[in-house]
Amino acid sequence: MATGHSATQRSLTMDAVWDIYHEDLEDIESHIHRHLNAGTPLINEVAAHILNGGGKRIRPLLLTLCARLTGYVPKDDLVLGSLIEFIHTATLLHDDVLDEAALRRGQLTAQRIWGNRASILVGDYLYSRAMQEFSSFENHDMNETMAVACRKMAEGEILQLAANRQPLIPESEYLRIVEYKTGALVAAACKVGAIRGGASPAQQDALHQFGMALGIAFQLADDRLDYMAGNTHLGKTPGQDLLQGMVTLPLIHLLQQLPVEDRQRLVTTIETGALDAHHLARLTALMHRHGSLQYAGNRSRDYIHAALVNLDAFEDSTAKRALTVVAEYMINRDR
């Protein structure tokens, strides 16, 4: 299996994927701006600020590829891709409020410019507008998929909030947070594409599982990047997650490797919010020494392998090869 996937990947590059599907992505972009035309100028201004901030539109691309995987020809799935991006954008607006983040993709966050209330309300608008448009397709399976995903994302945010400054959280509980907070929407995008493409229930489930594993892999790769110096071009300050109290996989792994006294000292520092840049530099060095960053990278790779197994249910095609390439791209953004 691994050999087949590697051979498939070599036959296509991410640049080629962008080129092959650039017309679809341009249409998705057009739909985004068409649906953004709200009657309230502040909504348009806040939403446009983040929507125009350099996002790659990976989730809409995944939806389109999953629809194409079954030979789907009509292009109303591109409208659905724009709605997925609305929901993703809503989560970013809410995240930046919860995290008190100053930067997103290298620019000031909406909450720093317009404040928390505007960011939350515009996020709520994008959620509700997207779900309204989804309902117009009158497809129960699609509506249920999106409703479940939105519920899981909200629950994931609450679980993460409860885990704030709780460094001894088990890895299994952290992975549940990632599954809900990040995996759910990627999985929904893939399944909606499958539904729109007329895939069988078994194929829909396979692509849902593909998206879930892919979303988790993406987040674990992001966890690793957060502690790596020299990645400020990604629009995030290294170590920012932990400075805000967010416990992620590299830290969970590191704490399992440290002697009891060192572990307790670090736990106390995190729980009391006493962590500073000096602590962070030492912590990052420890992560390198104990292989915690490598561990997060390996776990991300494990999930990519699990995701790709689900594509075995489909015949070879450009869309299938593109999905494999996108999966690799999502965990190799630092290369």
The lowest-confidence range among 73-87, 150-164, 171-185, 192-206 is 73-87
Average pLDDT over residues 222-243: 71
Q: Quick one: pLDDT band at residue 266, thresholds 50, 70, 90?
A: very high
Higher pLDDT, 27 or 77: 27
CA-closest candidate to residue 121, choices 102, 97, 103, 149: 97
The lowest-confidence range among 213-217, 284-288, 306-310 is 284-288
Average pLDDT over residues 193-219: 97
The lowest-confidence range among 16-25, 51-60, 156-165, 247-256 is 51-60
End-to-end CA distance of the chain: 25
Check residue 236 and give its pLDDT: 53
C-alpha torsion angle, residues 47, 153, 60, 63 (rounded to 10): -160
Q: Quick one: pLDDT band at residue 274, thresholds 50, 70, 90?
A: confident
Check residue 233 and give its pLDDT: 46
Q: Is the pLDDT of residue 283 over 50?
A: yes
CATH code for the domain of 303: 1.10.600.10
Average pLDDT over residues 118-139: 95
133 C-beta neighbours (distance < 10 Å), count: 16
CB contact set of 66 (below 8 Å; sequence gap of 6+)? 189, 190, 191, 192, 193, 194, 197, 199, 207, 211, 319, 323
Which range among 79-88, 222-231, 240-249 has the greatest average pLDDT?
79-88
Element (H, E) at 280: helix 277-289
Average pLDDT over residues 238-247: 82
Check residue 35 and give its pLDDT: 84
Q: Quick one: pLDDT band at residue 39, thresholds 50, 70, 90?
A: confident
Q: Is the pLDDT of residue 204 over 90?
A: yes
Residue with tokens 């490598």: 294
CB contact set of 303 (below 8 Å; sequence gap of 6+)? 213, 214, 216, 217, 220
Q: Using a CB cutoff of 8 Å and minimum separation of 24, what contacts does 179-182 make?
A: 179/152, 179/212, 179/215, 179/216, 180/152, 180/153, 180/155, 180/156, 181/152, 181/153, 181/156, 181/157, 181/219, 182/156, 182/215, 182/216, 182/218, 182/219
Q: Quick one: pLDDT band at residue 1, thresholds 50, 70, 90?
A: very low
The lowest-confidence range among 6-20, 178-192, 217-231, 259-273 is 6-20
Average pLDDT over residues 222-249: 75
For the chain, what is the domain count? 1
Q: Is the pLDDT of residue 7 over 80?
A: no
Average pLDDT over residues 319-328: 97
Which tens digits make up the pLDDT trace of 40-78?
Answer: 999 999 999 999 887 889 999 999 999 999 888 778 889
The lowest-confidence range among 205-214, 223-232, 311-320, 326-335 is 223-232
The lowest-confidence range among 38-42, 283-287, 315-319 is 38-42
The pLDDT mean for the chain works out to 90
Element (H, E) at 297: helix 292-309
> Which residue segment(s) compose the domain that 209 sits in?
2-331
Q: Is the pLDDT of residue 334 over 80?
A: no
